[in-house]
């Protein structure tokens, strides 16, 4: 779609300086062509203003004098660009209706605004809100509730009794409500612990491809409003994740851990079971958390990349740290005597 720059400015709460023009789409500074809108969020890219072919730029007010092109002034150019991108590229939705080949239980009411794709299975007791989209091959088990405007992409499996809010997005391969990983040792074997809790997911939650949310053992697993989960993330049974927390790919949270609000987890973060993470905690990539973190702030662990030769030497020395610490304490005592 195309829109006048002045209309776009009003829609995304920016101020237009320069001549009006027609904007057809967005692009980065290097690949932009006439009709594209680009943005600058860091002054190190200001030199690209002289070479970009974009028709207009989003930037901060203090950088206006560097541009000979029309500009949209924003306090947060990146956020304004995201809003412009969404406006110029509206979400593609399926037409309403139940596709041939879908299997819908007789007691399920399908609102006229709902789409159900090929070979999807909707079992008994399911409640669907308005404008729900269920992709091909999905399985929605008994007594699941799905809120308005939620989009479920193809081949998602949702276990029985799961409660899902409005405006959620689940990408392909997501599994919600599988049994949690619980066993009790009995001699030479393990006895499975029945997983009789549910999963409760709030509004505006996004879950990336091939991520899994296990159902609770006794209590429910809870994902609060606004949580964003990347691809290949594992959330164990009874875990609670607070509002607007963001988890990057390949992270995992073990059972019964409670995570606060507005946390940010980098890729590959591992969090043990039965601990608490406070609000506004940032965990950088590959951090391993083995104890509760109450204070907000940034936390890291792991070993920085090094040459193999140095890494091997340091790894050998690591084995002797306890011995070195004891020798150091002994030397301190001798020096004080």
- Residue segments in the chain with a per-residue pLDDT below the cut of 70: none
Render pLDDT for 32-59 as a digit per residue (tens, 0 to 9): 999 999 999 999 999 999 999 999 999 9
**How confident is the model at residue 337, as a pLDDT?**
76
For tokens 């020798």, name the residue.
327
- pLDDT, position 303: 79
CATH among 3.40.228.10, 3.20.20.70, 2.160.10.10, 3.40.50.150 for 97-299? 2.160.10.10
pLDDT at position 305 is 86
Please say whether the structural domain 3-88 has been given the CATH code 3.20.10.10.
no
Spans of all domains in the chain: 3-88, 97-299, 308-337
Give the pLDDT of residue 130: 98
- pTM, two decimals, is 0.91
Taking a C-beta distance cutoff of 8 angstroms, is the pair 213, 175 a contact? yes
Which position among 160, 237, 244, 320 bears the catalytic label?
Answer: 237
Active site residue 237: yes
């Amino acid at each position: 779609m195309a829109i006048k720059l002045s209309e776009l400015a009003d829609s995304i709460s920016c101020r237009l300086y320069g001549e009006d023009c027609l904007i057809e789409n967005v692009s980065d500074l290097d690949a932009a062509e006439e009709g594209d809108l680009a943005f600058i969020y860091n002054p190190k890219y200001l030199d690209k203003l002289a070479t970009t072919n974009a028709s207009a730029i989003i930037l901060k007010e203090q950088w206006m004098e560097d541009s000979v092109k029309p500009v949209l002034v924003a306090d947060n150019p990146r956020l304004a660009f995201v809003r412009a991108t969404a406006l110029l590229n509206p979400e593609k939705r399926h037409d309403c209706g139940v596709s041939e080949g879908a299997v819908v239980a007789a007691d399920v009411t399908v609102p006229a605004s709902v789409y159900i794709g090929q070979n999807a299975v909707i079992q008994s007791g399911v409640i669907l809100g308005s404008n729900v989209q269920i992709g091909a091959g999905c399985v929605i088990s008994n007594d699941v509730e799905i809120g308005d405007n939620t989009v479920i992409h193809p081949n998602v499996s949702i276990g029985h009794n799961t409660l899902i809010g409005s405006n959620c997005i689940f990408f392909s391969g997501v599994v919600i409500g599988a049994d949690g990983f619980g066993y009790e040792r009995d001699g030479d074997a393990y006895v499975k612990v029945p997983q009789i809790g549910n999963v409760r997911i709030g509004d505006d939650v996004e879950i990336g491809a091939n991520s899994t949310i296990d159902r609770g053992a006794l209590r429910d697993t809870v994902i609060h409003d606004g949580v964003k989960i990347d691809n290949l993330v594992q959330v164990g049974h009874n875990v609670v994740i607070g509002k607007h927390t963001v988890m990057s790919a390949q992270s995992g949270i073990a059972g019964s851990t409670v995570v606060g609000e507005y946390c940010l987890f980098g890729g590959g973060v591992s969090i043990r079971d039965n601990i608490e993470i406070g609000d506004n905690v940032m965990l950088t990539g590959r951090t391993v958390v083995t104890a509760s973190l109450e204070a907000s702030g940034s936390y890291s662990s792991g070993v920085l990349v090094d040459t193999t030769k140095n890494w091997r030497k340091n790894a050998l020395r690591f084995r002797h740290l306890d011995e070195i610490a004891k020798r150091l304490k002994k030397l301190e005592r001798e020096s004080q005597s």
